[in-house]
Structure 1
Amino acid sequence: MAATSGGFQPRERRFSVQEQDWDPAPPKRPRLGAGSKCGGRRLIVVLEGASLETVKVGKTYELLNCDKHKSMLLKNGRDPGEVRPDITHQSLLMLMDSPLNRAGLLQVYIHTQKNVLIEVNPQTRIPRTFDRFCGLMVQLLHKLSVRAADGPQKLLKVKLVKPLGGFWGRFWG
């Protein structure tokens, strides 16, 4: 008998009648839809104090960033350390990829430093690269909503653009 390279020979697997009739276990994560027993309970996450602000550079608008616009921030007397849209980007990536969101139990809102409240649809796929994320946020802040490319569904929409009062004033003062 010739030796095989690597020294590993897989065995033949023989199935018995019991193994062929075996049903796989149900998924560990519950599938929650319209008729779920959770009663519509969801975790609401608000990214408070997000630094999402547009600035005009030449003829185009860009998302204000501490790396690209440091001289502009220092000229206006603002701390570059407070203008960090990359933190919002990373937080959104982690939240939208979480098992809780995939199960349909997460609702994400973004509240910016300029009192803009943004609702994020749970089906939204956040761009992986920071530059594309910046372009998406500039589009959102100027058009007040971002629709899906393949349908009328709104993926991101601005809810409030005024000083918060009333119901929301209790949470953010």
Structure 2
Amino acid sequence: MVRPYAVKGGVKRKKREEVYDDEEIEATISTLENNTYKEEGKDKEEEEEIDRDETTMESELAGIPIAPSSSSVKKSKSGIVFVLERASLEVGKVGKTYQLLNSDEHSNFLKKHGKNPADYRPDIAHQALLAILDSPLNKAGRLQAVYVKTEKGVLFEVKPHCRMPRTFKRFCGIMLQLLQKLSITATGKREKLLRVIANPVTRHLPLNSRKIGLSHSSPKLVQLKEYVNAASDDMNLVFVVGAMSHGKINNDYTDDFISVSGYPLSAACCIGRICNALELKWKIL
């Protein structure tokens, strides 16, 4: 009897399974792990190179102050921190949209809800931030941080290299976005230039710091130039300035409470005097 041929499409022969020793398996796993570690190391090196390129590009952008060199940072042992208290930054729903309330545009709306329009002055915080961020003190790298606390108790941080909008309308748009989304990210970067942080502000201040509150109602009238010159070079100075139209700041956490003039001054004017006195002390031209 003739042996029948195998029909096409039938059961294929099983391939012989390769058998490996335990030593060979361990060697294979170790080589794979080494390769993955090498690839991860390459990826990290590439990411570091990209970060270096981004930092160099950021320092060359127009309008953004260049970061101080490493030599100047080593020499400077102390810095300055500004805290703007009671800033009038409140969001309200006017019609169908949310807006940052101010006395010029929303006077009728505020009166209708039984509020005093004179209390809603976000322009004071805008002028104060411009005075701080545009100062030679900041461009020299001596400004460590800026904190703003609103009348409602919301605390947020402003990075020293942040470029604040020049026009009041754009400033209101930025503040509205910040209070709704809790942070503002730089264009094309992952860095948060403005972000809402947890209270109280004292948990974010440097350890070796002297907290100084400013108010016209303070009985201690000082000559600001002599006052900052008497401070230690190793001490960080924290100036607490009010960003409201009237009233005084909360001085519960301040070490000293002073007045820099016999006349009531605006927040931007007080900040200008502080920056000028410190620039003369640290010889910043």
Question: Does 1:119 pair with 2:201?
Answer: no
Distance 1:114 1:32, change over 3 A: farther
Which residue is equivalent to 2:139?
102
Distance 1:43 1:111, change over 3 A: same
Task: Give me the whole-angstrom Cα distance separating, in 2, the residues matched to 1:42 and 1:55.
Answer: 37
Which of the residues 90, 95, 109 maps onto 1:72? 109
Say whether the 8 Å CA contact 1:32–1:103 is kept in structure 2.
Answer: no
Which residue is equivalent to 2:187?
149
Task: Give me the whole-angstrom Cα distance separating, in 2, the residues matched to 1:140 and 1:111.
Answer: 13
**TM-score, with length taken from structure 1:** 0.72
Distance 1:33 1:53, change over 3 A: farther
Which residue is equivalent to 1:24?
none
Q: Which amino acid aligns with 1:44?
A: V
1:118-165 Cα deviation digits (max 9, x unpaired): 1000110000110000000000000000000021111001113x6x59
Structure 1 residue 72: Cα displacement: 1.7
Task: Give me the whole-angstrom Cα distance separating, in 1, the residues matched to 2:103 and 2:158.
Answer: 24
Task: Give me the whole-angstrom Cα distance separating, in 2, the residues matched to 1:165 and 1:93.
Answer: 21
Which residue is equivalent to 1:13?
none
Say whether the 8 Å CA contact 2:82–2:146 is kept in structure 1.
Answer: yes
Which residue is equivalent to 1:12?
none
Q: Which amino acid aligns with 1:135?
A: G
Alignment of 1:17-166 (within 5 A): 31=68, 33=70, 35-39=73-77, 41-106=78-143, 107-160=145-198, 164=200
Say whether the 8 Å CA contact 2:94–2:109 is kept in structure 1.
Answer: no
Tell me which protein shows more helix as a share of its residues: 2
Q: Which amino acid aligns with 2:253?
A: F
Larger radius of gyration between Structure 1 and Structure 2: 2
User: Which structure 2 residue ranges, 5 or more long, are not aligned?
Assistant: 1-67, 205-249, 255-285
Which residue is equivalent to 2:261?
none
Structure 1 residue 166: Cα displacement: 8.2
Say whether the 8 Å CA contact 2:202–2:253 is kept in structure 1.
Answer: no
Query: Percent of counterpart pairs with the same letter?
Result: 50
How many matched pairs?
139
Which of the residues 246, 250, 253 maps onto 1:171? 253
Structure 1 residue 73: Cα displacement: 1.4
| Aligned-partner SS, 1:65 | coil
**TM-score, with length taken from structure 2:** 0.45
